[in-house]
Structure 1
Amino acid sequence: MSLTIGFYLFPEMTQLDFAGPFEVFSQVPDTQIHLAAKTLEPVKADTGLRLLPTTTLEACPDVDVLCVPGGPHVDLLFDDETTLAFLRRQGVQASYVTSVCTGSLILGAAGLLKGYKATSHWTSVDLLSHFGAVPTRGRVVKDRNRITGGGVTAGIDFALTVVAELKGDRVAKMIQLGTEYNPEPPFNCGHPDVAEPEIVDAVKTRMSDRLERRRGRAGAFAE
């Protein structure tokens, strides 16, 4: 049975939120992937990498799986009606509505996570409550047909979970082995629960401006 997956691409998105899942999904048999953006012009990610859309939001066909990556400036999309209208249109008919990292906040702004458990980057998971979602810590959180991944690198875990849901564990395991996804990070500091307090504070300080703005816009959205 054929499968269609649609990614929403936007300026200053975090490319690894997209690239990890794309690598996994691209290996699922009989699957078509649409990369939807406002125009067909290259989309510049937050690292400067250019990504090439395959369709516009308007022309994008209905997809079985809708996936929204995150980025440092997702709050700018909280009131972007073109973006929100596209997500609502796709979300109402998609079999699965999904996200990676702070992409869940965009889904929340579109009203697609009300009453659902969801996760996000560890710095922002609590903000999901402003959109009527149930903030839930976890590498991958599944609630009915909503599947959300944690920050950035969780995108691979997320995508394998989605594949297992759609095609079964065997297909997901084959993709995991084929990509040699067998992580052994050099440091045990990938989450504030295990990182040294000094490292956690340093990361929070580095991200403080964007987090303050994001919190303000999320709070205003909920009012």
Structure 2
Amino acid sequence: MSPISIAFLLFPGVTQLDLTGPAQVLSRLGEAKVDLVWKSRDPVMTDAGFAIMPTTTFDEIKEADILCIPGGVGVTSVMMDEDAMAWVRGVGSTARWVTSVCTGSLILGAAGLLKGYKATSHWAWHDNLSLFGAEPVKARTVFDRNRVTGGGVTAGIDFAFALMAKIRGEEHAKMIQLALEYDPAPPLDSGSPEKAGEAIVAAYAERMAALAPNRGAEMQDAAAQLGFS
């Protein structure tokens, strides 16, 4: 197998499973090197209340075969961070695969890397993709040329297996699926708005409105400041 390098953006407020789920899968591509990249090597706090250590910094990693951007409550702050966005644009301009999980696709969009591409995101943020010139598609994983985007949080695992099958072949991906015993059998069936029902969706929307009352306006402001119309 040819060596393959994978760079994940690690940022304050990241949803850790957006990152750690696909990182665990992609680490088994074979001859793979996974890096978690931020401004410094200081611990980065996730939205789960614990920190993750970066393995390297923007200055040390200038290119990768796979760029992966996870999502989380910190995405808008990343969009307004010139150093972070310059790194995403730089690595994304030469990466073989430009990818994201959950709302990480909005960071790719803000970097100008999804203009004219089909993409997905977390269902609650999905419509914001069009602010950055992407074509929103409601699917667990979306491939459009070398852009690969995954839906919300746990979809990152499906995304990673789909990308693995594309790079190393289905047999390799099946073997890793077996090794990780990835055989989902959720005890509940409310993992999408369609399945959850109106009452649960409304309760979730109310909770999000309390936690992030201005998220829609902030996303629109970010798009405007970055020159998207």
> Which bracket does the TM-score occupy, shorter chain normalised?
over 0.9
Moved over 2 A (4+): 209-214
Q: TM-score, normalised by structure 2?
A: 0.94
1:35 equivalent in alignment to 2:25 = no
Corresponding residue of 1:11: 12
Q: CA deviation at 1:209?
A: 4.3
Equivalent in the alignment of 1:70: 71
1:165 is displaced (CA, Å) by 1.1
Distance between the aligned counterparts of 1:119 and 1:101, measured in 2?
A: 8
Please tell me whether the aligned partners of residues 62 and 87 of structure 2 are also in contact (alpha carbons under 8 angstroms).
no
Q: Does the CA-based 8 Å contact 1:72-1:210 persist in structure 2?
A: no
Aligned-partner Cα distance in 2 for 1:32–1:158:
18
Matched residue, 1:193: 194
Task: Tell whether the 8 Å contact from 1:78 to 1:106 is kept in structure 2 after alignment.
Answer: yes
Q: What is the CA–CA distance in structure 1 between the aligned matches of 2:26 and 2:61, rounded to whole Å? A: 18
* Contact 2:11-2:78 within 8 A present in 1 as well: no
1:57 is matched with which residue?
58
Of the structure 1 ranges 205-214 and 18-27, higher mean CA displacement relative to structure 2 is found in: 205-214
Q: Quote the offset at 1:213 in angstroms.
A: 2.5
The equivalent residue for 1:148 is: 149
For 1:212 and 1:77, the matched residues in 2 are separated by: 19
In the alignment, is the contact (CA less than 8 A) between 1:73 and 1:210 conserved in 2?
no
Amino acid at match of 1:145: N
In the alignment, the residues of structure 2 paired with residue 83 and residue 74 of structure 1 have an alpha-carbon distance, to the nearest angstrom, of: 11
Contact 2:19–2:70 (Cα < 8 Å) also in 1? yes
Measured in 1, the distance between the counterparts of 2:74 and 2:36 equals: 20
What is the distance in 2 between the residues matched to 1:146 and 1:47?
28
1-structure distance, mates of 2:215, 2:148: 22
TM-score (norm 1): 0.97
Structure 2 partner of 1:165: 166
User: Secondary structure at 2:163's aligned position in 1?
Assistant: helix
* Cα distance between partner residues in 2 of 1:165 and 1:210: 38
User: Matched residues in 2 for 1:69 and 1:13: separation?
Assistant: 7
Aligned partner of 1:25: which letter? L
Identity of counterpart residues, as a percentage?
A: 49
Could you tell me which residue of structure 2 aligns to residue 218 of structure 1? 219
| Structure 1 alignment gaps of length 5 or more | none
